[in-house]
Amino acid sequence: MVVKHIPACFFIFEADQLKFEDGIKLDFDDVLIRPKTSTLSSRSGVDIQKVYDYLHAPVKEAVVPIVAANMDTVGTMAMSEQLSLNGMLTCLHKYYSVDELVNFFAEAPRLDTFYTLGIKQEDVEKLIDVDDELPRLDEGGLGIHKICIDVANGYQKVFVDHVKRIRNLFPDTIIMAGNVCTPEMVSELLISGEADIVKIGIGPGSVCTTRMVTGCGYPQLSAIIECADAAHGLGGHICADGGCRMPGDVAKAFAAGADFVMLGGMLAGTDECDGTWEEESEILKNDKGGYTVSGKRVKKSLRFYGMSSEEAMDAHNGGVGTYRTSEGKSESVAYKGPVMDVIQKVTGGLRSACAYVGASSLKDFPRCATFVRTNRVHY
């Protein structure tokens, strides 16, 4: 970069030395969805289930495309059990033992559950060990139907090669891989890696500090719009991962073209989560209008942290390596009750958003939705 000094303390930067992308990039807080005239009489008639064909896996299925994130507090077997009853998906975290995973996948058909692994050889060996212990998929639908290959940085060639290796091992399984945030890498993972779904998001998560630590990332709404365009042109799908703090953000992600939306922080603190709970004494209202402290202990808050945080790496990797730093933080999340209480708010908001723009189904929502830019003070 060349900087020339001129009078009055101005600076001129040689434009040909700078690397800027053209166009403004937007996040969820930068936009609202513009209401439109609608012929719908009620939001109750909005269909939020979608039918999916996949680019590589020979599968056609109908699901409600909300996905619980593969965090060790959120991506639990209890979460999977509950969400699957409502046609929704869960990415199990990768820290269950082989025996736990075999028992879970052999117990009943887990059509709505992703087995999650990373990029290490030991992750592949563990997946093979679990699969070897399971019945074949044609024996009552048992076994692993979906795989999520999860890394923080999906831009390395070794990751694309890794995804292709898993595809070769499991040619008929639905494979989701990420994370990335730009169209060219979506295309690479879909074509060269042979993924079916690409996870989109670098740094937007509520307990992710990648943007602060590395300066790298991409505004999530623009990432979804641009990556969806790339994926859909090839017959692939994307899953928006991170940045959704409230139901309106989920609606914006779908309106922008996301095929699936993954939730972590929004589901943290529900009964189906694992982890360290802080408890408090139950307080009951008595007949005289006052309050009594009972001897029962009830949940108050859950310890919640990013999977690249110091707390997570201490728990699963023996600490933070000397060659790196943590890219996540820890916080306490207030107890929220059963996960379906949260899900009802999410799906209710999604149905209302569709009704506001005249979309009778989630499938039609992106076609009907128009964004307007705001000054980021609309909540």
Is there a contact between 350 and 48 (Cβ–Cβ < 8 Å)?
A: yes
Point out the catalytic residue in the list 91, 148, 181, 208. Answer: 208
Structure tokens at 99: 């025996």
**Residues 174, 33: Cα–Cα separation, whole Å:** 32
Secondary structure of the chain in HEC code, one letter for each residue: CCEEEECCCEEEECHHHCCCCCCCCCCHHHEEECCCCCCCCCHHHCECCEEEECCCCCCEEEECCEEECCCCCCCCHHHHHHHHCCCCEEECCCCCCHHHHHHHHHHCCCCCEEEEECCCHHHHHHHHHHHHHCCCCCCCCCCCCEEEEECCCCCCHHHHHHHHHHHHHCCCCEEEEEEECCHHHHHHHHHCCCCCEEEECCCCCCCECHHHHHCCCCCHHHHHHHHHHHHHHHCCEEEEECCCCCHHHHHHHHHCCCCEEEECCCCCCECCCCCCEEEEEEEEECCCCCEEEEEEEEEEEEEEECCCEHHHHHHHCCCCCCCCCCCECEEEEECCECHHHHHHHHHHHHHHHHHHCCCCECCCHHHHCCEEECCCCCC
> CA dist 313 to 100, 109, 241, 289, 325, Å?
22, 32, 21, 48, 10
**Residues 176, 167: Cα–Cα separation, whole Å:** 10
Q: What residue type is assigned to position 191 of the chain? A: I
Q: Is position 325 annotated as part of the catalytic site? A: no
Q: How far is CA 100 from the centre of its chain?
A: 23
Q: Is position 113 annotated as part of the catalytic site? A: no
Point out the catalytic residue in the list 210, 244, 273, 368. Answer: 210
Active site amino acids: 208, 210
